[in-house]
Structure 1
Amino acid sequence: MYSRFYGFSEKPFDITPDPRFLYLSLSHREVLASLIYGIKEKRGFIAVLGEAGTGKTTLLRSALDHLKEDVKVAHIFNTDVTFPEMLQMVLADLGLATRKEPLTKVDALHRLNGFALQQLSSGGNVVIMVDEAQNLDRNCLENLRLLSNLETRRHKLIQIVLSGQPELEEKLRRPDLRQLSQRINLRRYIMPLSPRETHEYIEQRLKVVGYRGPTLYTKRAENLLWQASGGIPRIINTLCDNALLIAFALKEKRIQEKTMKEAIDDLTRDRFRRESQPPASVLPPVAALPGSGSNRRVAGLLVLLLLVSLVGLIVESGFGIVGTHSKAKDSPSFKNVVRAVISDAPSGSAESQPQPPAEAPGIAALQNKRETDPFSVSQPASVFSYIPIEPPPAEEAEQAETGGNAATEEHAQWVSVTEGDSLHRIIIRYYGSYNKLLEQKVLTANPSITNPDRIFVRQLIKIPDPTEPGT
């Protein structure tokens, strides 16, 4: 629709995994090189890990383009299958059977082993690539491990690539899958893009479709895009495509910040839910609320807040309550407080849940760090949980400006926890690997974390300098 208006030969931000549009960041280059090396050198199991939308499938397809014709590849996309069904799909991809041919598991394994030996004798190779491997159950993963037992004294007959989201690594850490985890010879991670890489990613895709005009996205629009996407290429594509559509409707030749904000709002705002909520004036009276435990607590909070509001009004009216006027003046209005309580009230009868800290790191500090460190993981909330990023507390801002009191804190990083994060994932994304020493180092730098399995969205976590002794 908008391609002719902007002079594109085709749409630049489709979400299909087309290797022509592959942008190789630092981590993408490392993963691609490891894939090619592991397959050519017959290293057995290779694991590629990354968040959804970081380009794992595109990298797998790109790796296929770098392999010789004597490398026979079976690419499994649908992992919601049993192992016999997966084995049938592998044989069909390799041309050894039809998808409906009745084969027992023994017959299928015998046929695959014979083909692998034949390939080895002729200098070839056999590769099984499993995409979305985090969906595989324990039985499938264990059978893949047994499949890797097809080998000679010197070589693995079959190379197996497991590509998946961080949930795959969590599965591999389970004690009952430790044998499989030990057999993974190469384990590589795809990291989200930094602000600089996000700019290069956009420019590279525009170049592929033949765009020759001025810079299409303004700097402010790109900054807002990075904040909302968290550096995830798939989300970047979705937002860029929506922004282009909006700008085309307005006949604008460049994507401004306001256009990008509108694209983000269109994907994150729940218009129907918000419009269907009754205004505060028609909320049911407190006495009419049902008597469940959670609703009784809400009613109590509303009564308490009403009393606090009345006291504030008295103070505002000058009734002379000494020392409280300035505090009452800065308190939120009763209307806003009621809305906050209603929207955040628990739906069950469980006890009140602890709330995460409200602070988040300043985006300028995050951008500066990401510019110099592509492996930095201070990602803002993704587009599917987008929230405005607030400035850090005064003491943290002062520390960020002065570089800390000690030399070892000069390059420390403040990370804002996003939805779905765990301390384990944060350590992997920042340092590239995980071990107990790294976890202890992070816990030592954050004495407020008493339980590493309990962190909150938007909680501020200090990541020590990776070059500091002990990390």
Structure 2
Amino acid sequence: MVVRGAAGRIARGNLECAAGFCRGLLGSVIPDPGRSGIVTGKPGGCRDSKGWRLTMFLDFYRLREQPFGVTPDPRFLYFSPGHREALASLFYGIETGRGFLSLVAEPGMGKTTLLFQLLKRWKGYVHSAFLFQTQCDSRELLRYLLEDLGLDSQDRDIVRMHADLNDFLFRETKAGKRVVLFIDESQNLSDAVLETVRLLSDFEAPDRKLLQIVLAGQPELEQRLGRPGLTQLGQRIAVRAQLEPLPRAEIIRYMNHRLRVAGYQGMELFTPEAAAAIAERSRGIPRVVNHLCFNALSLGCAMRSRQIGPEIVREAAGDLSMDSRPAKPQATSARVPNPQPPQRQVAHAPAPSIKSTSLSSWMNGLLSHQRVLQTSLLALLLLGLAVYLGTRAGAGTVEREQANEASSTYVPASAGQKHTSEARVPTAYDELQPTSLRQSDERQDSSNVFTYVVQPNDTLRALCLSLVGRYDETVQKEIRKLNPNLKDLVNLKAGQEIRLPLAPSKPGQDHLKNTR
């Protein structure tokens, strides 16, 4: 088998080392505590003698900041038509004094970021409270609300907390300010707590609502509001905003928007094929797009690739356990990139059929299946090696027994004949065994030989430590035997093919052969 550079494996090894799991792979890296960066090291270690530092993909791709972060930064909010409409609806609902508003979207669609942008537009005119903790009862909800508004809630019962909240709302209204309560992940609230939230809207003056409430949550929230027990709350929601998954064209514009905000200038960082692959695997969810783009840029930097292609996206999706999604329809097969290298297919080809609607369950099942597959392959490899070594040892034992039987059944007639007989049997055995061993060596299984195409800056020592597992005189002898035309083991040339043993002899094994 021929592996051309094994770039994906080395890149993943670099990233594992950067995360604190360095195992001495080629080009291993460690985090730079001063900034999001990496320190390149010699093969077999994390840091070279000079401590030469290279920053992560921020400098490599000339970015001012992380373009695909995980925090809800309003500066990176992309106003797709759906986001723009939802923001306008919520803004209008607050401006017109509606009591209840709702925002419903799938996880990762940017609900929290949109709410922060809404708060930014009302800054100075609205006194807001933002509640994230929805695993609570009615008393705890009131306490969270008062504390977020700056009111004391210690040692107060529900009646006293209601009175304090009512006084606060009247003071803010007289000062010309609105009070808006944002409750994120509202689908987690129990029916009793949702009823308490409904009662909060009863704080009102003859001409206006003293407290406006925005319920944000996943589609389960919309389903719960349709239940008979929550009919009153559902009827009070005056504005219902919703975010749908982004189509492919919007995903590409979303990626370019975040790159521009982060300061990227230059050619398209993601090829059209790579962007299409990201749009397909993310299913239109911006959070998943961020994860895919971040992993792809990290791998691209480790592989020194100035532009991200579909192969790198597939590597990133594989690291996120997203490369087992159904293939595109046949009509778009012309745009599908080439299949992955064989070593990648071995890890993911037998992915199980996942019917669960839970993304986390799907990922956990896939990872568990991969671990079982890798363990099985390792066990088969060790079993094959044991059978091979046992067969060779058994052949030598049988030959010795046959030779001993031949010498014991022959009775010499004289001392001269005895000397001739004893000389004849060992001579036949000595001539037979080296020939057998030579033929066995010449018939060595091709699966025990690994052909590698030398990359720039590769060294034989580094390759052996990473791919063979050790580097000593025995390994050097086997490499010279496999590569008779290789004169210089120190200076390898880029593009040169070199054959490496996958299962080299242990030190002393050659001596054992000679003593046989």
TM range (shorter): 0.5 to 0.7
Q: How far 1:89 moved relative to its partner?
A: 1.2
Q: How far 1:68 moved relative to its partner?
A: 3.9
Corresponding position of 1:125: 178
Corresponding position of 2:509: none
1:222-249 residue CA offsets vs partner (Å, 9 max, x unmatched)? 1111110001000000000000011111
User: 2:174 is aligned with what amino acid?
Assistant: S
Q: 1:5-16 maps to which residues of 2 (within 5 A)?
A: 5-16=60-71
Distance 1:199 1:360, change over 3 A: closer
Q: How far 1:108 moved relative to its partner?
A: 0.8
1:9-62 residue CA offsets vs partner (Å, 9 max, x unmatched)? 111101110001000101100111111111122101000000000000000000
1:53-88 residue CA offsets vs partner (Å, 9 max, x unmatched)? 000000000000000413100000111111211111
Distance 1:198 1:70, change over 3 A: same
- Mapped partners of 1:25, 1:91: distance in 2: 35
Query: Normalised by the size of structure 1, how large is the TM-score?
Result: 0.58
1:418-450 residue CA offsets vs partner (Å, 9 max, x unmatched)? 9479xxxxxxxxxxxxxxxxxxxxxxxxxxxxx
SS of match in other structure, 2:205: coil
- Mapped partners of 1:251, 1:188: distance in 2: 43
- Mapped partners of 2:79, 2:356: distance in 1: 25
Corresponding position of 1:433: none
Corresponding position of 2:122: 67
Corresponding position of 2:274: 221
SS of match in other structure, 2:204: coil
- Is residue 38 from structure 1 mapped to residue 96 from structure 2 by the alignment? no
Query: Normalised by the size of structure 2, how large is the TM-score?
Result: 0.53
SS of match in other structure, 2:167: helix
1:93-113 residue CA offsets vs partner (Å, 9 max, x unmatched)? 111126xx2211111111111
Corresponding position of 1:76: 131
Distance 1:246 1:140, change over 3 A: same
Query: Is contact 2:252–2:279 with CA below 8 Å preserved after alignment?
Result: no
- Mapped partners of 2:327, 2:295: distance in 1: 30
1:378-421 residue CA offsets vs partner (Å, 9 max, x unmatched)? xxxxxxxx999xxxxxxxxxxxxxxxxxxxxxxxxxxxx99479
Distance 1:218 1:270, change over 3 A: closer
Distance 1:89 1:387, change over 3 A: farther
- Mapped partners of 1:74, 1:362: distance in 2: 51
Query: Is contact 2:317–2:323 with CA below 8 Å preserved after alignment?
Result: no
Q: Which of 42, 51, 54 lines up with 2:109 in the alignment?
A: 54
Corresponding position of 2:200: 147
Q: Which runs of 5+ in 2 are unaligned?
A: 1-55, 336-348, 360-516
Q: Which runs of 5+ in 1 are unaligned?
A: 272-357, 368-385, 389-416, 422-471
Query: Is contact 2:186–2:215 with CA below 8 Å preserved after alignment?
Result: yes
1:123-176 residue CA offsets vs partner (Å, 9 max, x unmatched)? 211110000111111011011001111112221110000000001111111110
Q: Which contiguous aligned blocks of 4+ residues in structure 1 show a shift greater than 2 angstroms?
A: 358-365, 417-421
Distance 1:359 1:219, change over 3 A: closer
Corresponding position of 1:345: none
Corresponding position of 2:455: none
Identity, % of aligned positions: 43
Corresponding position of 1:230: 283
Q: 1:378-389 maps to which residues of 2 (within 5 A)?
A: none
- Is residue 239 from structure 1 mapped to residue 292 from structure 2 by the alignment? yes
Distance 1:270 1:33, change over 3 A: closer
Q: 1:282-431 maps to which residues of 2 (within 5 A)?
A: 364=332, 419=357
- Mapped partners of 1:30, 1:203: distance in 2: 21
Corresponding position of 1:169: 222
1:183-208 residue CA offsets vs partner (Å, 9 max, x unmatched)? 00001101111111111111111111
- Mapped partners of 1:123, 1:29: distance in 2: 27
Q: How far 1:270 moved relative to its partner?
A: 10
Corresponding position of 2:145: 90
Distance 1:387 1:54, change over 3 A: farther
- Mapped partners of 1:61, 1:50: distance in 2: 15
- Mapped partners of 1:250, 1:260: distance in 2: 13
Distance 1:363 1:37, change over 3 A: farther
Q: 1:174-213 maps to which residues of 2 (within 5 A)?
A: 174-213=227-266
Root-mean-square deviation (CA), in Å?
Answer: 2.6
User: 1:173 is aligned with what amino acid?
Assistant: G
User: 2:262 is aligned with what amino acid?
Assistant: V
Q: Which of 145, 148, 167 lines up with 1:114 in the alignment?
A: 167
Distance 1:183 1:364, change over 3 A: farther
Q: How far 1:122 moved relative to its partner?
A: 2.1
User: 1:31 is aligned with what amino acid?
Assistant: A
SS of match in other structure, 2:268: coil
